[in-house]
A = this chain, B = another copy of it.
Amino acid sequence: MATQLDKTNLLNAYRTMKQIREFEERVHVEFATGDIPGFVHLYAGEEAVATGVCMHLNQRDKIASTHRGHGHCIAKGVDIDAMMAEIYGKRTGSCGGKGGSMHIADISKGMMGANGIVGAGPPLICGAALAAKFKGDQGVGVAFFGDGASNQGTTFESLNLSMVWKLPVLFGAENNGYAESTGVKFNVPTANISDRAAGFGMPGITVDGNDFFAVYEAAGEAIKRARAGGGPTLLECKTNRFFGHFEGDAMTYRAKGEVKDLRERCDALKIFSTQVTSRGLLSQEEMTTIDSEVKAAIDKAVALAKAAPNPTAADLLTDVYIAY
């Protein structure tokens, strides 16, 4: 482990991952009660990716996210009370209840939005990176996208455009093996999604997306290069989702016992804990303390969300234009 993360950072990494996990496990439970409307896609299992990447970013940096956006939001510092309220459709939500799970955004934090359109993020992040280039502020853009999204024309075009314009972009491919019910083995004819980078003259690398440190290091290198004007990188993180494609998915396309097995063998939080405790970097207690803090925070977020008011009828008509 070549990484030189100090204790604060290690605790932060753990806290972020735990927050994502707890947030998602809780949304899963609450969704089942029928209180949460719409389509909800959970990020549980993929925590190391968002966390390992976003720890290199500051507020000047931008990320573009996907339909499975809660983890990216949390890792980029979006307020979890506002997120939870948004998922409940409440007026206090990040988007005033108008967006919901699929559209949580906080541009002030550099989070340019979850997105209901597969492959919509990569073009947008090219623009964010272009803006950074014009501003000369060393900012970078990260587009997260799935294995399924890696087949969308918009994604390919963006890989190319980012090379043509030499943009400071990290393409973060989250290969969780599935696009809805369809396996990556069907959709992607190469062993790795990162194999596509070479066709654009771009560095491409694949890491174990359940290993926070592997993601952290590879992302760090790519982001450093991007900031220095060295252009984009395609980083594929192989990971797993612990829930269905969306809440309500019976997952009959998955192998029997698959998720249980993954939760045992490939849990990013467990792997992290083992790594840091075995090396004496963090203690189990330190993490247990975080666990209960996180749990309390999520409890509070849910309670606040449930108690929060709905948008008013007048809200229906506002926020379409700045001026019309």
Contact = CB atoms under 8 A, between A and B. Distances in A.
Contacts of A198: 190, 195, 198-199
Contact of A199 (B164, B186, B196): B196
Mostly helix, strand, loop or mixed at chain A's interface? Answer: helix
A321 B314 CA distance: 45
B189 A163 contact: yes
A186 B190 CA distance: 27
A195 B199 CA distance: 5
Contacts of A114: none
Contacts of A199: 190, 195-199
Interface stretch (A154-162, A243-251, A294-302): A154-162
A143 to B, nearest CB: 15
Interface residues on A, range: 20 to 34
A32 B157 CA distance: 37
A299 to B, nearest CB: 44
Interface string A243-271: 00000000000000000000000000000
Interface string A157-200: 10010011000000000000000000000111110000111111
A153 interface: yes
Contacts of A187: 164
A186 B164 contact: yes
B164 A153 contact: no
Nearest to A195: B199
A151 interface: yes
A147 to B, nearest CB: 12
Contacts of A153: 152-154, 156-157
Given A199-B195, A199-B196, A200-B189, A157 B160 contact: no
A324 to B, nearest CB: 32
Given A198-B199, A199-B198, A157 B151 contact: yes
Given A153-B153, A156-B156, A198-B198, 4 more contacts: A151-B160, A190-B200, A197-B199, A198-B199
6 contacts: A153-B157, A160-B189, A190-B199, A190-B201, A195-B201, A199-B199
Interface of A: 151-154, 156-157, 160, 163-164, 186-190, 195-202
